Chain A
Amino acid sequence: MAITSIKNLKEFSTNNDRFEGAHTLCPGCAHSMIVRELMNCTDDNLVIAANTGCLEVSTAVYPFTSWDTSWIHIGFENAATAVTGSEAMYRARKKKGTLKDPNAPVKFVAFGGDGSTYDIGFQWLSGAMERGHDFTYICLDNENYANTGGQRSSSTPIGATTSTAQAGSASYGKKEKKKDIVAIMAAHGAPYVAQLAPNKWKSMAKGFQTALETEGPCFINTVSACCTEWRFDPKDTIHITDLATDTLMFPIYEIINGHELNILYRPKNVVPVEEYLNAQGRYKHLFKPENKHVIEKIQSDINEYWDKLQRREEARI
């Protein structure tokens, strides 16, 4: 086991990274924070697969790579399968004694955006989880297809405007509720599932470490604020993420073995959701009088879900 202690911010900033700062993600993009944190929370070797999306197109443009570790991208939908194929090969070669360094500790990790995780790669992810490979899947959930210009995904919350679910004179934006991916993954019987956020970086690092050290398929949904498509100033990424967790728009919790639910962050003062919505261009239209009901709906959904999480935590079911 090669968990590194959770680094403090000073250590973090002077660290020799396995994910290079030289990439073309937007300034202020939370994807890189989450990836760096994952790669900093273990000293083990990593085999990383990425689905097509902002992370992938910004970090491996020939002849450059930001990855100082084994890394593979195949397509938009199949990172979970790519990395579990590698994990199967690892087991085969370990058994046959053909690994170059059979004692080198290794962890298998897949990254996908919400587009690949909730939508197009859902089947590949589900299959890999069901097969029980020893790997961790991390979703960088920015609630839209950012790489292709901000189209809706099934993770886009109700009321947000996107380029394919637009707000206009006859529409308040996306009509459908966000898919509950964490519950779906927990229902696969995964030994560890969590929703984490980079503003709560200690709990995020701890969650990552737990997932890496847990044998079997683990899933983590991470809140990844996208300044470009959510429309906020790049310097405000953490501030926006604070609002996301303090309004309980993104509750931080884990589910162990499909049923033991633990809430990992309880805001001292729960902030009304208006503050979160008002800080982002994608929700601006909701503040028109005719769309007020949508804000009310979002708030009541949040309250209801938070209530449910608390009851589940208490009941341990």
Chain B
Amino acid sequence: MAKKYDINEVEVWDGNYAASQALRQAQVDVVAAYPITPSTPVVENYGNYVANGYIDGEYVMVESEHAAMSGCIGAAASGGRVATATSSQGFALMAEVLYQASGMRLPIVLVVVNRALASPLNVRGDHADMYLGRDSGWIQIDAFNAEEAYDLTLCAFRIGEHMSVRLPVMVHQDGFITSHTAQNIHPLSDEAAYKFVGDYKGVDDMLDFSKPVTYGAQTEEDWHFEHKAKQHKALMDSRTVIDGVFAEYGKLTGRNYKRVESYMMEDAEVAVVGLGSTVETLRVAAKQLREEEGIKVGIVAPRCFRPFAFDEMADALSGVKAIAVLDRSSPGGAMGAFFNEVSAAVLSSANRPLVTNFIYGLGGRDFSIQEAKRIIREQKAHADAGHITTQIQQFSGLRGPKLGFFEAKRS
């Protein structure tokens, strides 16, 4: 039996430590992992629990991230709880097998500590890796700070392992800003955390020899489409399960999560939509600007990057005149991917706000409260003018001359 871990009502943990504690409390059966900055401490901390008898499960240190996810798949198909962690290049190396994990409907939990993708090599946080996962068929939940990383990692097991979901879940946090910044955290006791997560229930267990199972079959044009459609439907249907798990967790902790988090949106005239730790910066800026300049600004952020909360996003933004959507990933010759998704959502409502796109914070470039305020003021200017007064896509916080694309056409 695993040794009992003494845990205080309030702990000072960073995001990596918080995630590793959640894995320990969930009593994961197999962790197969490979280190990479900035998620390395997740697996190091976990290794420390193993070395000191706090873990009954197996800890498999493989030779690459591709193997980490491959081992997780083999383990998850064998009827037990499975988790791992990665970042950036490791995430990219895993890409092939991410699709296989979701296609086989295996509820693996992957802690992703977001980091830029090379080249140039960069260890700091941006969302390039998170974006790379967006069509992989995983549920993607986004933590804005370390305590949320803890909470949402526990929730991830419940969501993915739910009998009507059975999908893998990523829990994202920002490299360094969240992963290496300590804050006060109010963890559950080991008993309460495990009670919330519950015993693992196997489906199509390879170690149940009374019922042989084939995993990873081939389907061509005759059946592939139906499989993928079913998988997409499962992702879409997971929305109600996510809401239920969040509600239950809220009752337990008083910390209430929603698939779309709205801040000061009740009477907002303009809004900024962002992801990750930036959301906290935006909230501070919004609060200050409301007090200092009377700008009615609100902040909207998806807690669930996947499944994308299309209708909740549209609802949250239905009353505003101007919206800035912030993408922390190099768009590669297009509008930011997140901008496109938010724009599509608002397009489905009667309101036609003015939507602009900011590319910011690549490779860990700091995103300041001052810059957030500048962006908010710009939205106010669009709203007052009744049209977009800048280019539609702008780079924020870039050195040298301003960079922007696409003029707003006024007919």
Contacts and interface: CB of A to CB of B under 8 A. Distances in A.
Contact of B29 (A63, A69, A92, A127): A92
Interface in B14-60: 29-30, 32, 56-58, 60
Interface of A: 45, 47, 49, 56-57, 60-63, 65, 67-75, 77-78, 81-86, 88-93, 95-96, 98-101, 104, 106, 123-124, 126-127, 130-131
B206 A75 contact: no
A63 B97 contact: no
A99 B202 CA distance: 10
17 contacts: A45-B209, A47-B207, A60-B216, A62-B217, A69-B212, A72-B77, A81-B74, A82-B74, A85-B74, A86-B78, A88-B75, A89-B58, A89-B78, A90-B207, A127-B62, A130-B63, A131-B60
Contacts of B76: 85, 89
B119 interface: no
B70 A74 contact: yes
B71 A72 contact: no
Given A67-B212, A72-B216, A92-B56, A84 B74 contact: yes
A123 B73 contact: no
A-B residue pairs, 5 tightest by C-beta: A85-B74, A127-B63, A85-B71, A82-B74, A73-B216
Given A60-B217, A70-B206, 12 more contacts: A61-B220, A63-B223, A72-B206, A73-B215, A85-B30, A85-B72, A90-B78, A93-B207, A100-B207, A101-B208, A123-B64, A130-B63
Contacts of A62: 217-219, 223, 227
A91 to B, nearest CB: 6
B218 A75 contact: no
Nearest to A66: B214
B404 interface: no
A78 B56 contact: no
Contact of B218 (A61, A83, A95): A61
B311 interface: no
A241 B60 CA distance: 39
Given A71-B213, A71-B214, A92 B62 contact: no
In which size bucket is the chain B interface? 35 or more
B303 interface: no
B67 A124 contact: yes
Contact of A74 (B100, B206, B210): B100
A11 B205 CA distance: 31
A121 to B, nearest CB: 10
A225 B134 CA distance: 43
B260 to A, nearest CB: 34
B315 interface: no
A148 to B, nearest CB: 14
B216 A123 contact: no
B214 A60 contact: yes
B212 A71 contact: yes
Nearest to A60: B217
A99 B217 contact: no
B96 interface: yes
Contacts of B78: 47, 85-86, 89-90, 93
Contact of B70 (A81, A92, A101): A81
B397 interface: no
Q: Which of B66, B78, B200 has its CB near the most chain A CB atoms (within 10 A)?
A: B78
B80 interface: yes
Given A49-B74, A65-B217, A72-B216, A89 B79 contact: yes
A74 B218 contact: no
Contact of A88 (B58, B64, B100, B227): B58
B208 A57 contact: no
Contacts of B214: 60, 65, 67, 71-72
B60 A88 contact: yes
A124 B32 CA distance: 13
A106 B97 contact: no
A24 to B, nearest CB: 10
Contacts of B200: 98
Contacts of A127: 62-64, 67
Contacts of B96: 75
A82 B73 contact: yes
A62 B104 CA distance: 13
Contacts of B32: 81, 85, 88
Contacts of B63: 123-124, 126-127, 130
A49 B32 CA distance: 17
Interface in B68-103: 70-80, 82, 96-97, 100
Contacts of B213: 70-71
